[in-house]
Amino acid sequence: MGKKVYLDPEALQRRVDAFKEIAEKAKDEVGKIVNASSDQADPMENPPLEEYTPKMRAAAAAVTKRLAEIEECKKTIERLSSNGIGTKVGDYGIEIEVPDDRIDSKGKLESWAKAAVDGKDLESLADSDGKDPLPSGRSYHELLKSLRENKGSKKNPHYANFLIDEVGPENLAKIPVAFQTHVGGGSAYGNEKAHEIASLLGQNLGIASTQWDRKRSKAVADGIVKSVTGKGKWGRIPALNAILGMHDKKYNYRTAPTFGKNFLLSLGEGLEKLPLDEIMRAFKADENLTGPQHVWEPGRRNNAGPFLAASTTSHGPNSMDPMAGVLYAMSKNPEVAHEYLAPDGSRHPNGSWSPGDKMKRRWELLTTRPREQNGGLDAFTAAQAAASSLRKNENKDKASSATWLSARSIEYAVDVVEEKEYSDEMKRNLAVVAANCATEGVNVARGGSPDGLGLEGDPSRDPSTFSTFLYRIMDNKDAATIVSAAFAREVRDRFPNANDQRTFKDKYQAMGNVHGYLNALGDKKVADMYGDDEKQRSEFKKNVTWGLGVGSAAIGGAFTGPVAPALWAVGSAAATPAIVDNAVPDATVPDDPITDVRSTLQAEAYGEAIARGLFKNPDALHPNLFRDEDGAYPWYSMENGKPVIDFSGSRGDAQNTQIHDWAIKVKDGKLDPDDVISNADKAIDAGIKQGEALINGESDKDTGSITIRR
């Protein structure tokens, strides 16, 4: 609710001018007092006059400053009146309604004034037929420009708060659809601008929602849900999803807005009740009625209603799943995604989790509803991935419930979703789930089981279920990178002190297990996809080997470099080049990434053996061996008379070749009497063979112990 304010600009200006005169006279009087005191030889001694004069001048200056602010506020209100906000009263007065008890400074008044004009235009646009001008008299392009310039920020959230108030939650999802209609008549240009306005609305909604309490969050969420509920309104769902950050299938996790927890939870609880099956039928009926063209014409869309077309095409909707946008937004905040997916339940003494009734109902709802493939599955798996990152949370209840969710996510991906439904985005998301299950994954790669994850059904089938899960995503380069990096990190963490030959060999045999296992899964997936098409098989095999090579190089041997995260988050390694950002913050993928993972593991082993002092013959570490015709190797240096190997970044092919050249010199010179190099090679080869045998068997006539479900 607001309060009405009356202003007579001329009367106020007269008062301001009168006070200005008083302030100026005060300044003059201070000067007179100072002069008079000087003429009298400064008779004030205790305290002296100098102690008072700065305070008197400051008081006069404060009055002048406040008067200037009042004048600015007066001008702001006058501008509002000329922009259609407020009404004129009599010959001189202006009456305007302002938010109740929320404007207590000039800055807030200016923010509200800008939001009031923009909001009034947007509210008008929501139900406009495009024929009437905007209340401010501006063009649509001027409105868009104002939104760009004034968008709120975390430091100054006032504009965002006021804008959402002025527009009204019930109008938000209408606006991009209307903008698409009125700017370019549904053309690609108009569609582009409609998505931009959706993005701007989303940014302001996100900033505002982080300021709201639970009651306000629910009220706004309820208003939004109501606006997209029912025949003729479902068409606004794609616009709502765009506002929440989904603009096309190449989602940008870094620039998508962040929303308040209470708002997202309330919005999710409201939108989950919408009937996706009916919504999809309504969209289909409208398409059959009018064809893909004219999607922006309200009169031609009688079932779902007019919708916001996808930003990459001039026809066809953005995701029509009402849960897509909110789940996608939740995926940016693991705590929110987890709280939504695991609202209740209890932890048993053995650490396992029993979901409560609400959690059971919600999971059943989300996993049995129609699977919308234009973003709905992507968003759901993104939320699953975010929740899985809490598996090692200090709060044991959160960790336990996150493990339960991870297991159910794997089962959902294997048992419910058909392989043909997997998008590349979904594969990246599920790779994050796999990364957060690296402990169990490495156990499977070494011939064990994913015990502790809590997969349901016959325990003897658990390794096959987990492996089928990986098989379905390993043809994606980014997914292969995420999984291999996480599994390599898990192995490295299991052997933190590989300072003796036996532990060192065990570590690199385990590294070989992981590579052999993942490589065999990738091989099988590519072979099943392309059969006898050698060209396609070769091309897609490169994706797998590239991912495995970069992932292993970035993490596996980083014994002197940056450490990858224990918990993997959505978007942390989801963009090529793969592993760089959150996974290894200071590392970069080189221009010449290694695609031969066996060679990568050997290079890691040799470098780590040097760093751990396993080469006892000092001649093996002579500086002359660490150089070629171009000079000393850049990853080698001497400190306090000892060699230092710096593999702090992802190694490229050139660096890989250099350390192999060093190893050849050592072996040829018989400088490795303990066979450190040979033993490392044997351990890696044995591990690779064992890992591959799990999938392919020991021979062509044999089958592996793991069965992939296609």
The fraction of the chain above a pLDDT of 70, given in percent, is 84
Average pLDDT over every residue of 406-426: 95
Q: Which element (helix H / strand E) includes 366?
A: helix 357-368
For residue 274, the one-letter residue type is: L
pLDDT at 578: 30
What is the per-residue pLDDT across 337-381, written as a single tens digit (0 to 9) for each? 999 999 999 999 999 999 999 999 999 999 999 998 888 999 999
Average pLDDT, the chain: 84
User: What phi and psi values does residue 447 have, to the nearest 5 degrees?
Assistant: 95, 5
Task: Please tell me the predicted confidence (pLDDT) of residue 121.
Answer: 92
Question: DSSP states of 207-248 as a string?
Answer: HHHTT--HHHHHHHHHHHHHHT-STTTGGGHHHHHHHTT--S
| Nearest C-alpha neighbor of 682 from the set 448, 523, 506, 556 | 506
Q: Could you read off the pLDDT of 462-494 as tens digits, one per residue?
A: 999 999 999 999 888 888 888 888 898 899 889
Say whether pLDDT at 296 is over 90. no
Closest CA to 236 of 304, 169, 328: 304
> To the nearest 5 percent, what fractions of the chain are helix, strand and coil?
60, 5, 35
Three-class SS of residue 648?
coil
- Determine contact, residues 117/136, Cβ cutoff 8 Å: yes
Collect contacts of 105-109 with beta carbons under 8 A, ≥24 apart.
Answer: 106/69, 106/72, 106/73, 107/156, 107/158, 108/158, 109/73, 109/76
Which of 16-20, 114-118, 361-365, 518-522 holds the top average pLDDT? 361-365
Over residues 243-261, the pLDDT tens digits come to 998 765 454 555 678 999 9
- The pLDDT assigned to 31 comes to 82
Angle between helices 597-611 and 653-668 (to 10 degrees): 60
Q: pLDDT band at 547, cuts 50/70/90?
A: low
- Looking from the CA of 407 toward its CB, the CA atoms found within 13 Å total 21
In this predicted structure, what is the pLDDT of residue 529?
84
Average pLDDT for residues 36-54, to the nearest whole number? Answer: 75
* pLDDT for position 554: 52
Picking from 23-27, 215-219, 310-314, which range would have the lowest pLDDT averaged per residue?
A: 310-314
Mean pLDDT value of segment 31-43: 79
List CB contacts of 674: < 8 A, sequence separation 6 or more: 501, 614, 615, 616
Q: What is the pLDDT of residue 210?
A: 94
What pLDDT sits at residue 423? 92
**In terms of pTM, does the model score above 0.75?**
yes
Question: What crossing angle do the helices spanning 424-435 and 477-494 adopt, rounded to 10°?
Answer: 10
CA 29 from centre of chain: 62
Residues with Cβ within 8 Å of 359's Cβ and at least 6 positions away in sequence, in order, are 341, 342, 343, 344, 345, 401
Please report, as a single letter, which amino acid is at residue 520.
A
Between 46 and 498, residue with greater pLDDT: 498
Beta carbons of 225 and 272 less than 8 angstroms apart: no
Task: With a cut of 90, say whether residue 440 has pLDDT above it.
Answer: yes
Upstream peptide bond of 577 is cis (omega within 30 degrees of 0): yes
The answer to whether residues 132 and 116 touch, using CB atoms and an 8 Å cutoff, is no
The two structure tokens encoding residue 175: 């606006």
Answer yes or no: is pLDDT of 591 > 60.
no
- The answer to whether residue 188 scores a pLDDT higher than 50 is yes
Tokens standing for residue 398: 């959160």
